[in-house]
Amino acid sequence: MRDNKTDVIVVGGGPAGISCAITIARAGKQVVLIERGKFAGSKNVFGGAIYAQPTREIFPDFEKTAPIERKTVEHKFALLGEDDGTVISYKEKPDENASYSVIRGKFDRWMAEEAQKEGVILVEETVVKDLLLDKGYVVGVRTEIEEYYADIVVLADGVNSLLARQIGLRNTITPEDVALSVKEVYKLPENIINERFHVTSDEGCIYEIFGGPMLGMLGLGFLYTNKNSVSIGLGVTLSELVKKSLRPYELLDKLKLHPEIAPLLKDGELLEYSAHLIPEGGFKKIPKIIGNGVMICGDAAMLVNNMHWEGTNLAMISGKLAGETAVIALGKNDFSENSLIRYADELENSFIIKDLRTYKDLMSGIGARASHFLEYYPQKINSFFKMFTTTDSTPKRQNYRKFIKSIFTDRKFTDLPKDAWCAIKLLWSILIK
């Protein structure tokens, strides 16, 4: 046996990699977690909020000690026109399935420290350049300075996963398969945040933002309240930005100027600007997630449910399942694809693949009629409320009739049945098969 060898190497200290590594360490096996940033979380960006239930599966008591910002009590769905908007607000009575806003630079770092306490060997500031192969098996990694061997290598190296590509498990990713997200965090006093969002110091609010500068595009804006700051950002499918030749930060600047959003950020001081890719290819773009001596988790496996803003939870649970499989494979001393297939099976039986399969046709379906679903209808909803709230001494019946007539005359007559058919097909694919 080589002296520079361990049981498992996990590449990438994000939610997937940490969850995988800690699961393996808890079973008494040796695991090395390699992170390329200065600390775990330093290269990571998300909206964002984490979800209590899946996080508890990895860290049962995290609510007591983890660096949490605010517990979500309000969800707002903002449907923005060019300069108007309709906002639906849901006030939640948080239960054990709550979500929390966190800052990745603090939270991921905390998770990695907890993992170290349980025996994970964390190696930071180290880039894995290549995977080492022997007789068709992945047997280790080559970093910038050395070669390191393991029975199993887990790739949790994020959306760009250069390593999965290197060993041919992952097909070429196209601009349709990812969203480019830009985000800005604004410092605001705690009491101002509480007043603006109608929350107490422990409570938080999430905005999901449709339309506005993203009208007609597959894109989504978001706003999260932290303790002393507000995160605002948006993600737009890269292919839309390419097609329309748009600068992502200019879209974000426009969103910040929208009358529905601007007052929320007023007088904020920009703390940090960031950007990240979100894997959005969905079910059809999940790569081959196992090979001889190797498994892929989290963003690297394209495990994101964009319809429900879920990513870190899929990352954590996929990491945990891969970790459990690694432990069993170590027990059997069998690291072949046939042995690691347990991970693929467990993933298949979990909510992760089930949910991604549920939404497999959603993005392509909506994307095909983007100018209708993502521009016409949002505008129409706003114009309905404009009509409903306007007092101009015209008879109401006349306004109603005019509005209803416009639905049939705004566009080609055939668009309405086409949309209805598309909606039925999508509903069918979501609910039935």
Partner 1 sequence: MEYIDKMSNLDDKLYTVKYTPDTESHLLPVQECCRICKSKICTVICPAGVYSWENNKLVVNYENCLECGACRIACETSSLGWEYPKGNKGVTFKQG
What single-letter amino acid sits at 379? Q
- For tokens 């007052």, what's the residue? 263
At closest approach, how far in Å is the CB of 181 from partner 1?
Answer: 8
Q: Which of 10, 63, 59, 1 is nearest to 32 (CA)?
A: 10
Are the beta carbons of 138 and 11 closer than 8 angstroms?
A: no
Q: Which of 73, 33, 79, 71 is nearest to 55 (CA)?
A: 71
Distance CA 142, CA 156 (A): 16
At closest approach, how far in Å is the CB of 244 from partner 1?
Answer: 10
Q: Based on CB atoms, which residue is closest to partner 1, 265 or 381?
A: 265
368 is written with which tokens? 């095909």
**Alpha-carbon distance values, 230 to 74, 255, 261 (Å):** 14, 14, 12
Q: Does 248 bind partner 1 (CB under 8 A)?
A: yes
- Binds partner 1 by CB under 8 A, chosen from 127, 370, 381, 430: 127
Q: Does 253 bind partner 1 (CB under 8 A)?
A: yes
- Binds partner 1 by CB under 8 A, chosen from 37, 211, 319, 323: 37
Q: Does 238 bind partner 1 (CB under 8 A)?
A: yes
Distance CA 150, CA 200 (A): 49
At closest approach, how far in Å is the CB of 159 from partner 1?
Answer: 7
* φ, ψ of residue 301 in degrees (nearest 5): -95, 10
Q: Does 257 bind partner 1 (CB under 8 A)?
A: yes
Radius of gyration of the chain (CA): 23
Residue 84's Cα: distance from chain center in Å?
28
Stretch that binds partner 1, among 249-257, 302-310, 357-365, 412-420 (CB under 8 A): 249-257
Q: Based on CB atoms, which residue is closest to partner 1, 21 or 173?
A: 173
378 is written with which tokens? 């949002």
Stretch that binds partner 1, among 114-122, 274-282, 304-312, 357-365 (CB under 8 A): 274-282
3-state secondary structure of 172: coil
Q: How far is it between the farthest Cα atoms of the chain? A: 88
* Alpha-helical runs (H) found in 75-158: 104-117
Q: Does 242 bind partner 1 (CB under 8 A)?
A: yes
Distance CA 16, CA 292 (A): 20
Number of residues that bind partner 1 (CB under 8 A): 57
Q: Which of residues 67-126 bind partner 1 (CB under 8 A)?
A: 103-105, 124-126
Stretch that binds partner 1, among 58-66, 261-269, 311-319, 404-412 (CB under 8 A): 261-269
Beta strands (DSSP E) in 135-246 are: 137-143, 147-155, 178-187, 203-211, 219-225, 229-237
Q: Based on CB atoms, which residue is closest to partner 1, 27 or 271?
A: 271
**What residues have CB less than 8 Å from 215, skipping those under 6 apart?**
80, 81, 82, 374, 375, 378, 379
Stretch that binds partner 1, among 41-49, 112-120, 147-155, 372-380 (CB under 8 A): 41-49
283 is written with which tokens? 């079910």
Q: Does 231 bind partner 1 (CB under 8 A)?
A: yes
Q: Based on CB atoms, which residue is closest to partner 1, 162 or 341?
A: 162
At closest approach, how far in Å is the CB of 158 from partner 1?
Answer: 9
At closest approach, how far in Å is the CB of 53 from partner 1?
Answer: 23
Q: Based on CB atoms, which residue is closest to partner 1, 86 or 231?
A: 231
Q: Which of residues 133-172 bind partner 1 (CB under 8 A)?
A: 143-144, 159-160, 162, 172
What single-letter amino acid sits at 302? M
Q: Does 249 bind partner 1 (CB under 8 A)?
A: yes
Question: Which residues lie near partner 1 (CB under 8 A)?
Answer: 36-38, 41-46, 103-105, 124-127, 143-144, 159-160, 162, 172-175, 177-178, 180, 182-185, 229, 231, 238, 241-242, 245-249, 253, 256-257, 262, 266-268, 270-277
